[in-house]
Amino acid sequence: MVSDTPTQDPLLSVRGLGIRYGTKQVLSGVDFEVQRNEIFGVIGPANAGKTSMLRVLNRMDAFNKNMHVDGEVRFRGKDIKSWRNLYALRRRIGVVFPLPVGLPMSIYDNVALSPRLRGIKKKAQLDEIVERCLTRAALWDEVKDRQSQLGSLLSGGQQQRLTIARALSQDPELLLLDEFSIAVDPVTTMKIEDVLRELKSELTIILVTNLVQQARRLADRTAFFLGGTCVEVGVTEDLFTGEVQDQRTRDYVEGRFG
């Protein structure tokens, strides 16, 4: 694997990451670093281990007894396995999965739930948080007059943006996005991409995508996963213009397999 020269203080550092489910190894020997305020892309075909990697970063392995993790993941310099309070860790590392899952409550309550759980009770303060998060998710103008409506009644694209707003309500430092555009139309995809570009000034994003051109549009640097390994990490545009060290990377981004 090839990677950029690391900095002294990455937000996230992954070393020797291995993941298996029972006896099935799905990821081995993965190393990469994510810098603050960057969009870090992760591309690769199905079954390359990308989603499993995200689950480890959010400590979802803690709820799957069949999932075994080796190696080290450090967030803000601290091993994520040493966090005793998983809720506190997940507040800092938000995640959005491919299919939007709205909580069975109003649009407003979907976004206000996390702030309430951390002790914010004043309506004026909650109102401000809800408006800010819905605005950052490019949804406020479409729902501001119907916030009492069930979130599940929104369109698929709106529900995906509501999921992003709910993740942002935790005020994360790192946002994990797993193929967010699978369930949304191209127009909504472009809206969300615009949101991500703006969010980069406030937080760090890891973007797993099955669309290589989406990674090219958004990611500062990109990792290519294949067969349970991280083949290569580099400046995104370099991966698309031939500045790669592994022919498999070139073949994938040029559509020869996938």
- Asked if 183 contacts 158 with a C-beta cutoff of 8 angstroms, the reply is no
Q: Is residue 5 part of a domain?
A: no
- Asked if 231 contacts 65 with a C-beta cutoff of 8 angstroms, the reply is no
pLDDT of residue 25: 96
Q: Is residue 124 part of a domain?
A: yes
Return all residues near 39 (Cβ < 8 A) that are at least 6 apart.
Answer: 196, 200, 204, 205, 206, 207, 218, 219, 220
Domain housing 211: 12-253
Return all residues near 123 (Cβ < 8 A) that are at least 6 apart.
Answer: none
Q: Is residue 105 part of a domain?
A: yes
Q: Is residue 128 part of a domain?
A: yes
Longest Cα separation, the chain: 57
CATH code of the domain covering residue 146: 3.40.50.300
- The HSE-up count of residue 224 (CA atoms within 13 Å, CB side) is 26
Long-range contacts of 18-23 (CB under 8 A, 24+ apart): 18/69, 18/70, 18/71, 19/49, 19/52, 19/53, 19/56, 19/61, 19/67, 19/68, 19/69, 19/70, 20/67, 20/68, 21/64, 21/66, 21/67, 21/68, 22/66
Rg of the chain over Cα atoms, rounded to whole angstroms, equals 18
**Mean pLDDT of successive 10-residue stretches along the chain, which has 258 residues:** 59 97 96 97 94 94 92 95 88 86 88 94 96 93 96 89 93 94 84 91 95 95 96 93 84 87
Q: Is residue 2 part of a domain?
A: no
pLDDT of residue 8: 64
Number of folded domains in the chain? 1
Q: Is residue 236 part of a domain?
A: yes
Q: Is residue 225 part of a domain?
A: yes
Q: Is residue 4 part of a domain?
A: no
What are the angstrom distances between the C-alpha of 246 and each of 45, 230, 240? 16, 11, 12
